[in-house]
Copies of this chain bind each other. A is one copy, B any other.
């Protein structure tokens, strides 16, 4: 089967508007959540055009229902989509899936970024193969923003790479710094390298070498040194760098603890009439707290280190969450996220050329 073409009506001059390719069929609530999310995004971004990819028969009635979304979308039809439980290797064999076509649009330069709420393993594998790794970066990573007591923190890698060498960690620092600049709008984000307590850690050569390299690099002034697990939510640094195994465990452990606290708190407020009354009195404050901790505020994760912006929305998100993922993609595209990485790397070249003594980075997903 020959590949379908991007509709001619989709704008081709990316200087006037920013083009995003959106996987219309990815996520638990797709396609309705996606289209409803794009309707919100249309109100927030004046300079956005969306190539919405998926089943016309399902997308067109939704665009009729959400005229705001229709005003920014061009539909690119395909009736193939990657399911949420599909293995990455199977997804890679589907050349006409909505997710694949979205990546193709970025690879061909017709879109600057892609947003999908679909299968994350498939998305990372497709991004690596189709969008490809940014020159100078050894391995893409997964980054996300989390709340802290003080503000927000960018964490990476969250699971794209199981084990990493020092060079990967240094590259993650470069990419995390660029991400904090583009999306959090910080002029000079500080960077911490996740460790288990400073100098005692003689064993971990790769952390020591990564720290040394950062101290000699143009990022030296922003490099805080080692941080520990509790520093993530304390907001000690704006960026926390770690390998994908540790980052994934830390992220999920944190989510679990927050869920436990919420569950226990709900039990407290539901115990008897007096507690229920107390709950009513503190509810406005609790709502603000919930908003602060709301994962939809910055929804999903971003694959960084690719030749284009690739944003993964949570599969179970709602329209508001999907719109937040579009916000992140637009921030990265409009604030020159990849240009910022390229510039940093050009000033770090020699530092990253030291011989590798450690094992190479192991990708978490089978990419063939």
Chain A binding site: helix, strand, loop or mixed by DSSP?
helix
* A:211-231 near B, CB below 8 Å: 228-231
> A7 to B363, alpha carbons, bound, how many Å?
60
Q: A248-B196, A264-B149 are in contact. Are A253 and B282 (CB under 8 A)?
A: no
Interface hit among A8-16, A287-295, A302-310, A333-341: A287-295
- How far is it, in angstroms, between the C-alpha of A268 and the C-alpha of B282 when the chains are bound? 7
Selected from B203, B233, B249, B365, the residue in CB contact (under 8 A) with A257 is B233
Residue contact B249 to A364, C-beta cutoff 8 Å: no
Instruction: Tell whether A192 is near chain B: CB-to-CB under 8 Å.
Output: no
Q: How often does this chain occur in the complex, in copies?
A: 2
A232 within 8 A of B: yes
In the assembled complex, which residues on chain B have CB atoms less than 8 Å from the CB atom of A282?
Answer: 268-269, 274-275, 278-279, 282
- CB proximity to B under 8 Å, residues A84-99: 88
Interface contact A162-B204, CB-CB below 8 Å: yes
> How many chain A residues touch the partner (CB < 8 A)?
68
In angstroms, Cα B196 to Cα A203, docked, is 23
* CB of A316 closer than 8 Å to a CB of B: no
Q: Is the CB of A229 within 8 A of B200?
A: no
Q: Which residue of B lies closest to A159 (CB)?
A: B196
Contact A203 B249 (CB under 8 A): no
Q: Find out whether the CB atom of A281 lies under 8 angstroms from the CB atom of B271.
A: no
